[in-house]
């Protein structure tokens, strides 16, 4: 443990903590744009500068270890001037189009510009112009808004282990890019979107769906048994976007399904009532011929969705259960229990899955039971 003094207040932190860690422990605000507690130290934005007694130059608090007896000062007219100038420089190479930006109101850069009251800019000059390559279904990359904090690059490499993007070029031309400046082609976990402090990376399905007045609903991701925590941003009973809180079991990380796969919730194709098939399978929408190239996800196929009265009949739960138990019994009698197999779902809880295999083994009498996580 080391003890140091920040802004006159004593604080004790573990060895190898940074000055920023120590200041956060005291809840002292230090502006940062490139720091992320789960990622390797970076030191790119140069906003988190502090003064350390005995050291002539200001130091980046995110990349300086706290040392025993250190005396640190986190704010002074000089430090604020340095921070302000760095912000001013960032904004001199920024489209400044908050009016239309998806992240407005939720943008770290905008917030800092607001706090520092930056309207005029002494450094107007050339700004980057990039052509967009966004044919992928999930991530909009508006790289002119990128401040090169490198969080997306680090998260992709260090947390996701994919390495789909990295820096390219030098000088003002430096940019974050997939290989050979192609469109993004990765797992689409959207981890990069989650950490991006600006509007450079956003969810494609967020566009023009609204930026404020959400109802935030804490819930659990419905997809797999991991049970990641998610926060739904809901408006008029519609999910506008999903994020995940860092202080949860999954530390804020999600996968592509959890983050972007919420389209089913309000989908007209979603099953909301039990259905019994009345027409043979051959006419099912799943038999629609595969197109070449394959259709992108979420394209509606078939004749207006599953609730097609010609194929299915809506029934009550009671009727549905009756039907299922009748058919299972018939099959078991005529063909034996091994003619039946059960596939459970990873979306169910462990308890539900346990009961399901019990049902298959004891009630039906077969070991034909499986699901993606295996029994």
Partner 1 sequence: MSGDNIKIKICMGPGGIAAGGNDVIEAFKGQLTNQRINASFGEQCSLHQVGCRGLCAKDVLVEIIIDGKETIYENINPEKVPRIVKEHILGDNPVKEWIAGEDYDNFKKKQIKVVLSHCGEIDPEDMNAYIEAGGYKAAHKALTSMSPSEIVETVKTSNLRGRGGAGFPTGLKWELGLRIKSDVKYVICNGDEGDPGAFMDRSVMEGDPHSVIEGMIICAKATESHKGYIYVRAEYPLAVKRLQQAIDQCLQKGYLGKNIFDTGFDFDIRIFQGAGAFVCGEATALMRSIEGKRGMPTPKLWRSAEKGLWEKPTVLNNVETFANIPKIILNGGDWFRNLGTERSGGTKVFSLTGNIKNSGLIEVPLGISLREIIYDIGGGIEGGRSLKAVQTGGPSGGCIPAALLDIEVDYESLAKVGSIMGSGGMVVLDETNCMVNTAKFFLEFTQAESCGKCTPCRIGTKRMLEILERITNGNGKEGDIELLEDLGSHIRATSLCGLGMTAPNPVLSTIRYFRDEYEAHIKDRKCPALVCRNLITYSIIEEECTGCGACKRACPVDSIRGVRKKPHKIDPELCVKCGTCFDVCKFKAILKA
Buried b (16+ CB within 10 A) or exposed e, 63-82: bbebeeebebbbeeeebeee
Contact characters 101-130, ligand SF4, x per CB under 6 A = x-xx--x-xx--------------------
**How many residues bind to partner 1 according to rule CB under 8 A?**
36
Measured distance CA(78)–CA(66) in Å, rounded: 21
The most distant pair of C-alpha atoms in the chain lies apart, rounded to whole Å, by: 89
Of 58 and 342, CB closest to ligand SF4:
58
Stretch that binds ligand FES, among 33-41, 237-245, 284-292, 346-354 (CB under 6 A): 33-41
Q: Which does 48 bind (CB under 5 to 8 A by kind): partner 1, ligand SF4, ligand FES, none?
A: ligand FES
Q: Which does 195 bind (CB under 5 to 8 A by kind): partner 1, ligand FES, ligand SF4, none?
A: ligand SF4
Stretch that binds ligand SF4, among 74-82, 177-185, 190-198, 286-294 (CB under 6 A): 190-198
Of 4 and 60, CB closest to ligand SF4:
60
Give which of 257, 264, 253, 136 is closest to 201, Cα–Cα.
136
Stretch that binds ligand SF4, among 72-80, 94-102, 132-140, 283-291 (CB under 6 A): 94-102
Of 47 and 232, CB closest to ligand FES:
47
Residue 4 found at the interface with ligand SF4 (CB under 6 A): no
Q: Are 356 and 348 in contact (CB under 8 A)?
A: yes
Q: Are 233 and 214 in contact (CB under 8 A)?
A: yes
Q: At its nearest, how many Å lie between ligand SF4 and the CB of residue 180? A: 18
Of 86 and 136, CB closest to partner 1:
86
Residue 109 found at the interface with partner 1 (CB under 8 A): no
> Taking CB under 6 A as the criterion, which residues in 192-221 touch ligand SF4?
195-201
Give the long-range contacts of residues 216-223, CB within 8 A, separation 24 or more.
218/245, 221/254, 221/257, 221/258, 222/347, 223/255, 223/257, 223/258, 223/261, 223/346, 223/347
Q: Are 254 and 244 in contact (CB under 8 A)?
A: yes
For ligand FES, the binding residue among 4, 19, 35, 102 (CB under 6 A) is 35
Count Cβ atoms within 10 A of the Cβ of residue 48 and give its class: 0-12 exposed, 13-18 middle, 19 or more buried: buried
Contact characters 49-68, partner 1, x per CB under 8 A = x-------xx-x--xxx---
Q: Which does 146 bind (CB under 5 to 8 A by kind): ligand FES, ligand SF4, partner 1, none?
A: ligand SF4
User: Residue with structure tokens 């112009």?
Assistant: 129
Count Cβ atoms within 10 A of the Cβ of residue 326 and give its class: 0-12 exposed, 13-18 middle, 19 or more buried: exposed
Measured distance CA(177)–CA(349) in Å, rounded: 39
Contact characters 37-76, ligand FES, x per CB under 6 A = ------xxxxxx-----------x-x--------------
Q: At its nearest, how many Å lie between partner 1 and the CB of residue 91? A: 9
Question: Looking at the chain, which runs of residues are DSSP E strands?
Answer: 2-6, 9-13, 49-52, 59-60, 71-73, 139-141, 166-168, 175-177, 201-203, 215-220, 229-235, 238-243, 275-277, 312-314, 342-343, 369-370
- Give me the sheet containing 49-52, strands edge to edge: 9-13, 2-6, 71-73, 49-52, 59-60
Measured distance CA(259)–CA(250) in Å, rounded: 13
Q: Which does 126 bind (CB under 5 to 8 A by kind): partner 1, ligand FES, ligand SF4, none?
A: partner 1
Residue 173 found at the interface with partner 1 (CB under 8 A): yes
Binding site for ligand SF4 (CB under 6 A): 94-98, 101, 103-104, 107, 109-110, 145-152, 176, 195-201
Residues near partner 1 (CB under 8 A) are: 41-47, 49, 57-58, 60, 63-65, 82, 85-86, 89-90, 92-93, 122-123, 125-126, 147-148, 150, 166-167, 169-174
Contact residues: ligand FES, CB under 6 A = 32-35, 43-48, 60, 62
């Amino acid at each position: 443990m080391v003890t140091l003094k920040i802004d006159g207040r004593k604080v004790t932190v573990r060895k190898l903590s940074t000055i920023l860690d120590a200041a956060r422990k005291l809840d002292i605000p230090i502006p940062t744009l490139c720091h992320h507690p789960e990622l390797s130290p970076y030191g790119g934005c140069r906003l988190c500068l502090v003064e350390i007694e005995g050291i002539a130059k200001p130091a980046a608090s995110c990349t300086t270890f706290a040392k025993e007896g250190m005396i640190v000062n986190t704010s002074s007219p000089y430090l604020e001037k340095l921070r302000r100038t760095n912000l001013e420089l960032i904004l001199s190479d920024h489209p400044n189009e908050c009016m239309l930006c998806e992240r407005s109101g939720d943008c770290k850069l905008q917030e800092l510009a607001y706090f520092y009251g930056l309207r005029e800019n002494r450094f107007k000059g050339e700004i980057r112009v990039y052509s967009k390559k966004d044919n992928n279904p999930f991530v909009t990359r508006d790289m002119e808004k990128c401040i090169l904090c490198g969080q997306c690059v680090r998260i992709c490499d260090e947390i996701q282990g994919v390495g789909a993007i990295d820096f390219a070029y030098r000088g003002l031309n430096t940019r974050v890019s997939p290989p050979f400046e192609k469109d993004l082609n990765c797992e689409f976990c959207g981890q990069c979107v989650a950490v991006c402090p600006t509007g450079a990376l956003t969810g494609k399905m967020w566009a023009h769906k609204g930026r404020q007045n959400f109802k935030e609903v804490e819930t659990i991701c419905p997809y797999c048994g991991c049970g990641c925590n998610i926060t739904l941003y809901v408006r008029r009973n519609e999910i506008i976007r999903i994020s995940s809180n860092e202080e949860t079991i999954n530390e804020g990380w999600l996968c592509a399904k959890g983050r972007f796969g919420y389209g089913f919730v309000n989908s007209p194709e979603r099953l909301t009532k039990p259905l019994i098939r009345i027409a043979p399978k051959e006419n099912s929408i799943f038999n629609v011929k595969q197109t070449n190239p394959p259709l992108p996800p979420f394209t509606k196929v078939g004749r207006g969705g599953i609730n097609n009265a010609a194929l299915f009949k809506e029934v009550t739960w009671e009727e549905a259960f009756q039907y299922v138990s009748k058919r299972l019994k018939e099959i078991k009698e005529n063909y034996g229990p091994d003619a039946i197999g059960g596939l459970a779902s990873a979306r169910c809880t462990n308890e539900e899955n346990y009961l399901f295999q019990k049902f298959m083994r004891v009630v039906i009498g077969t070991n034909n039971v499986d699901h993606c996580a295996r029994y």
